């Protein structure tokens, strides 16, 4: 499914990609994008955003929040300014972003990667206010799991209201709502009472960790966590 703010670009993308996939293009100006969807549930949603404003994104917002499509990966094609506007208003944000000047071969590669990731067995949510830490952990996990990332406890709760995951990696120290506070609220969600949560902690956060023991986390890992250590811990928890 291709959603575009630019009619010509939408036709160009459809013409190129239909050689590889079953494709339908829909203009972003339609506020009810699902009403025009005739190809069935898409395997990937590709959004071409150019000179977008919040009023142009209402249809995409509804699309992204639709319960039946939450697990469908979304690729955003946009420049930096439009990508920032898009991510500000569309939650959850895109699963991947690529420049609007990218070659069609790169766009196809990004689609293939997202579709392959979406077929992975386990889904993991990573919660950390540090973008560097998020990027590092995601790079460790991308080849083995479907990974979603959010930057705060509040965003984690909003994500989990819409989508079930198999495991949460939760930073212990975050502003506004720390890890233990976030886990307490996760445990109050009927769908996530037993979802395993592994805390990502710093060496100075032992007291905070001890206060979270009664919430029954699945374990603790000290940051910066090494890839092998992270994968082994996750495997142990998911196989338990």
Q: Per residue in 139-196, pLDDT tens?
A: 899 878 889 999 999 999 999 998 889 999 999 889 889 999 999 999 999 889 899 9
- Identify the CATH class of 2-118: alpha beta
User: Measured on CA atoms in the order 142, 100, 67, 20, is the torsion positive or negative?
Assistant: negative
For the chain (length 240 residues), average pLDDT per consecutive 10? 92 94 88 80 91 86 79 91 92 91 95 76 90 90 87 94 92 90 93 92 70 83 90 89
> Is this model's pTM higher than 0.85 or not?
no
Give 180-204 pLDDT, tens digit per residue: 999 999 999 988 989 999 999 876 6
Q: CATH for 123-239?
A: 3.40.50.2300
* The two structure tokens encoding residue 143: 């080849």
* The two structure tokens encoding residue 16: 């190129």
Q: How far is CA 171 from CA 21, 36, 72, 105, 133, in A?
A: 39, 41, 26, 37, 10
In terms of Cα–Cα distance, which of 160, 163, 201 is closest to 179?
A: 201
Which residues belong to CATH 3.40.50.2300 in the chain?
2-118, 123-239
């Amino acid at each position: 499914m291709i959603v575009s703010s630019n009619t010509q670009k939408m036709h160009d993308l459809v013409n190129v990609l239909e050689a590889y996939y079953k494709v339908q293009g829909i203009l972003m100006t339609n506020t009810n994008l699902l009403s025009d969807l005739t190809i069935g549930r898409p395997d990937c949603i590709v959004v071409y955003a150019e000179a977008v404003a919040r009023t142009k994104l209402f249809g995409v917002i509804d699309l992204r929040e639709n319960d039946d499509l939450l697990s469908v990966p979304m690729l955003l094609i946009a420049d930096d300014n439009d990508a920032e506007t898009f991510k500000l208003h569309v939650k959850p944000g895109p699963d991947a972003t690529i420049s609007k000047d990218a070659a069609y071969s790169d766009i196809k590669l990004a689609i293939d990667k997202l579709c392959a990731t979406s077929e992975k067995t386990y889904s993991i949510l990573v919660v950390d206010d540090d973008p560097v830490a998020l990027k590092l952990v995601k790079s460790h996990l991308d080849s083995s799991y479907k990974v979603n990332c959010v930057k705060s406890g509040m965003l984690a709760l909003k994500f989990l209201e819409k989508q079930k995951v198999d495991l949460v990696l939760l930073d212990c120290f975050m502003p506004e709502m720390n890890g233990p506070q976030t886990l307490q609220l996760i445990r109050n969600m009927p769908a996530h009472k037993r979802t395993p949560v592994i805390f990502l902690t710093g060496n100075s956060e032992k007291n905070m960790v001890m206060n979270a023991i009664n919430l029954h986390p699945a374990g603790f890992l000290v940051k910066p966590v090494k890839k092998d250590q992270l994968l082994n811990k996750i495997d142990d928890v998911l196989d338990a």
